[in-house]
Amino acid sequence: MAQYYVYFLTNHMGTLYTGVTNNLERRMYEHREGLGGGFTKKYNISKLVYYVATNDVQSAIAREKQIKGWRRSRKVDLIESASPSWLDHSADCSAPPPDPSLRSG
């Protein structure tokens, strides 16, 4: 059964990014390597501070949209409820370079 992840990334300045993916290892590799351009590349955002898994893609997408509508303080509360010191969980997602044809956008 497939897994889907809703996650938060940050950088040294505390800038937050919320995302959803079906492959957290691949997606973290893409963020670390600056693949795909955009917000995370521009602000060097690659520290994984929160993630949650589900088997339902629709609920993952709905949760991501819900979180994106929150104020920053509520996002911080969610992160700190799981990791008060904002530990970097990206080491949990260290995979070898993925097949480039499988990149998410």
- The b-or-e profile of 40-60 (16+ CB within 10 A means b, else e) is beebebbbbbbbeebeeeeeb
pTM, two decimals, is 0.86
Per the model's pLDDT, the better-predicted residue between 99 and 12 turns out to be 12
Give a yes or no: residue 104 inside a domain. Answer: no
Give a yes or no: residue 103 inside a domain. Answer: no
Indicate whether 100 pLDDT > 90.
Answer: no
Taking the mean position of all CA atoms in its chain, how far away is CA 79? 12
**27-41 confidence digits (pLDDT tens):** 999 998 988 778 999
Give a yes or no: residue 40 inside a domain. Answer: yes
Q: What range defines the domain where residue 10 resides?
A: 4-98
Give a yes or no: residue 85 inside a domain. Answer: yes
- Collect all residues with Cβ–Cβ distance below 8 Å to 66 and sequence separation of at least 6: none
Give a yes or no: residue 105 inside a domain. Answer: no
CATH number where 20 lies: 3.40.1440.10
Give a yes or no: residue 75 inside a domain. Answer: yes
Structural domains in the chain (count): 1
